[in-house]
Amino acid sequence: MGENDFSRDDIRAMRRSYGDAGLEQLDADPFVAFADWLRQAHENPMIVEANAMVLSTLGTDSMISTRTVLLKDISEGGFTFFTNYSSRKAHAMESNEHVSLLFPWYAMERQVSIQGVVARTSQQESEDYFSTRPWASQIGAWASHQSSPLSSREELEQRYAGAAAKWPEGVTVPCPPHWGGYRVVPLTIEFWQGRYSRLHDRLRYERPDTSANWELNRYYP
């Protein structure tokens, strides 16, 4: 066994007391409350990529997998991100529409966790967003068989060079057929605010289905 110079005591000493930014009230509309927190996270210099969210999916093998994706839109009652439709996450979402999202804003002693149902965005929406991406990212989308085995870094660089030669900078790069958006329509949205003595605030919006009205409930921390 290799020596572990970061001991259990070191890990246990990683303990912080949270402040007293209370969460007494939130807007009746969870999207208004979310937009407010997202803006505050974005304006906080301690937080990088405030729109980064951890997406969890359930695969056909009953294994749960998680990864970070970037929120790109809040519209039509959902949270949108873009990815490769042949990726591991895409296969999971095509077989099980239930997903969760987590925004971990630790520097603000906050998190927002969401459970919901996911569906592809329209192709038009994917194409519209793809056209706004930087050229290098567009070429990267053509180069990557996301989540498939790759024999070497070189193979990826070669595929990138091939796509770059086909669509040189300045030329319109078409949206790959294997690339596009997903929208997560929430069933629960929980706002968590760390507070003193581990007496945190948890306020959860919930509804039984996506056409029902929201209820806002407080939970024990």
Ligand X SMILES: Cc1cc2nc3c(=O)[nH]c(=O)nc-3n(C[C@H](O)[C@H](O)[C@H](O)COP(=O)(O)O)c2cc1C
15-23, 64-72, 150-158, 181-189 -> range binding ligand X (CB under 6 A): 64-72
Q: What would the 3-class secondary structure string for the chain be? A: CCCCCCCHHHHHCCCCCCCCCCCCCCCCCHHHHHHHHHHHHHHCCCCCCCCEEEEEEECCCCCEEEEEEECCEEECCEEEEEEECCCHHHHHHHHCCEEEEEEEEHHHCEEEEEEEEEEECCHHHHHHHHCCCCHHHHHHHHHCCCCCCCCCHHHHHHHHHHHHHHCCCCCCCCCCCCEEEEEEEEEEEEEEECCHHHCCEEEEEECCCCCCCCEEEECCC
16 is catalytic: no
State the nearest-atom distance from the C-beta of 188 to ligand X, in Å: 22
Task: Output the six-digit token pair for 146.
Answer: 């996301």
Query: Counting contacts by CB under 6 A, is residue 69 touching ligand X?
Result: yes
Binding map of ligand X across residues 97-136, x = CB under 6 A, - = no contact: ----------------------------------------
Nearer to ligand X, 75 or 217 (CB): 75
In angstroms, give the least distance from the CB of 202 to ligand X: 26
Q: How many CA atoms lie within 13 A of 66 on its CB side?
A: 7
φ, ψ at 102 (rounded to 5°): -135, 125
Q: Per rule CB under 6 A, is residue 89 in the interface with ligand X?
A: yes
Residue 161: CB minimum distance to ligand X, A: 22
Query: How far is the C-alpha of 46 from the C-alpha of 187, rounded, in Å?
Result: 30
Between residues 69 and 143, which has the closer beta carbon with respect to ligand X?
A: 69
Say which of 12, 198, 207, 218 is annotated catalytic. 198
Among 147, 159, 167, 202, the residue binding ligand X under the rule CB under 6 A is 147
CA angle (49, 54, 60) in 5-degree steps: 150
Shorter beta-carbon distance to ligand X: residue 44 or 146: 146
Closest CB to ligand X among 115 and 147? 147
Q: x/- binding map, residues 148-187, to ligand X, per CB under 6 A? A: ----------------------------------------
Considering CB under 6 A, how many residues would be counted as binding ligand X? 16
What is the set of active-site residues?
198
Which parts of this chain interact with ligand X (CB under 6 A)? 49, 52, 65, 67-70, 81-84, 87-89, 146-147
